[in-house]
Amino acid sequence: MNIKLVKLTPAYRPQLEDMMGEWLASEQSFSPYAIRKNDYHDFDRYLSQLERTKEESGRVPDSVFFCLDLDRDIFVGAVNIRHYLNEDLLQCGGHIGDGIRPSERRKGYATAMIRLALEECRKLGIPKVLMTCDRDNIGSAKSIMNNGGVLENEVINEDGVWEQRYWIDLERIPPVTTVYFVRHCQSEFSHRDDRTRPLTALGMEDSAAVAQVLHETAVDAFYCSPYRRSLDTIAKAAQAHGLPIRTDERLRERQSGEGGNFGLKDDGDTPLRKRWRDFGWCEPGGESLGAVQERNIQALQEILSESRGKTLVIGTHGTALSTVLNYYRPSFSCEDFLRIVDWMPYIVRLTFDGQRLLTSEEIFHIDRPYQKRGEKLC
């Protein structure tokens, strides 16, 4: 699962029409009310009236977010966050109204979407969040309780239906942890020692771009592979934030062996593709992707345990980062690795609820040639 909450813009009109069309065709009720109060076919009017900026006609200011599945580029649901409660919302309705489109239910999206909505509530300064659901809506109740909801009582709403009222104390819910993985800038391939390989002059220039991307981010800590090219890539950013860089040997790049990523095997296969098909295989003297993944994930999980609710930067490498992405999204393959192989630097932002991945998003890269020797990587 790889999702994020987004505000509706014209760029997301196809995703909106796809979701709303499915909902209407299913003839099932859908929520929140905010996304169905106007006709989405008149997009400009729909967008302009989607949110309220001030209280009017007994309705409070609100924010509407759509839940975007980043891997499939579709809306899977939506949330409506009321900025405060009036007497009616205090009884029924609460701070958050949410809904998942019919084809995406019972897949865990509701729990994950509510978790992200709680972060938006935190930004609004709401200390305790009220959520309500019909008593017979077991799935909705579970998604609320999965996010720390505590049942206070049950009331009968204006339609004569029993409704459950849950409170979520945000002081008891740690904020999400945000991790910026930064693959190093272009390095000098003529330098054979992997540990001390420096950045090229162009790579050093690009490290300033990394610092600029992270400039307005309130980073709490910097971690890094002990390899020079990774350290040099995030050094300017760490200096700008006035923070030291903590190195961890487990975050290092894969140990390359005989043939490395290059050279055809007797069967016409390349070591690179063979490693990606079999995470337990490696060339003589090399390291398997499974071993790289195991140590990188072990380091990451320890960092997450020690840094709940923090914002972190981790300096990394192309293969090491790819094994991390594969751990959380097993469909990440050799072709995905080859897509990013020339992206130096490459920044991916991951958010976690404890150890559970919530979102993964590519936010920056510069395309620089990987090859310096005219050899084909694949």
d(CA 207, CA 220) in angstroms, rounded, equals: 19
Q: Tell me, what's the pLDDT at 263?
A: 46
Please give the single-letter amino acid code of residue 104.
Answer: E
325: pLDDT strictly greater than 60: yes
* Three-class DSSP category at 37: coil
pTM: 0.83
E strands, the chain, in order = 3-6, 62-69, 74-82, 96-100, 128-134, 150-156, 162-169, 177-183, 221-224, 245-247, 311-316, 343-353, 356-367
247-276 per-position pLDDT tens digit:
999 999 999 887 666 544 445 578 899 999
In the chain, the percentage of residues whose pLDDT exceeds 90 is: 82
Per-domain boundaries in the chain: 3-172, 177-367
Q: Tell me, what's the pLDDT at 64?
A: 97
* CATH code linked to domain 177-367: 3.40.50.1240
297: pLDDT strictly greater than 60: yes
Is the fold of 3-172 the same as that of 177-367?
no
67-91 per-position pLDDT tens digit:
999 889 999 999 999 999 999 999 8
373: pLDDT strictly greater than 60: no
For the 3-172 domain, the top CATH level (class) is: alpha beta
d(CA 81, CA 96) in angstroms, rounded, equals: 5
Q: Tell me, what's the pLDDT at 260?
A: 64
122-181 per-position pLDDT tens digit:
999 999 999 999 999 999 999 999 999 999 999 998 889 999 999 999 999 888 999 999
d(CA 171, CA 176) in angstroms, rounded, equals: 13
336: pLDDT strictly greater than 80: yes
Answer whether 197's CB lies under 8 Å from 228's CB: yes
At residue 326 the predicted structure's pLDDT band, cuts being 50, 70 and 90, is: very high
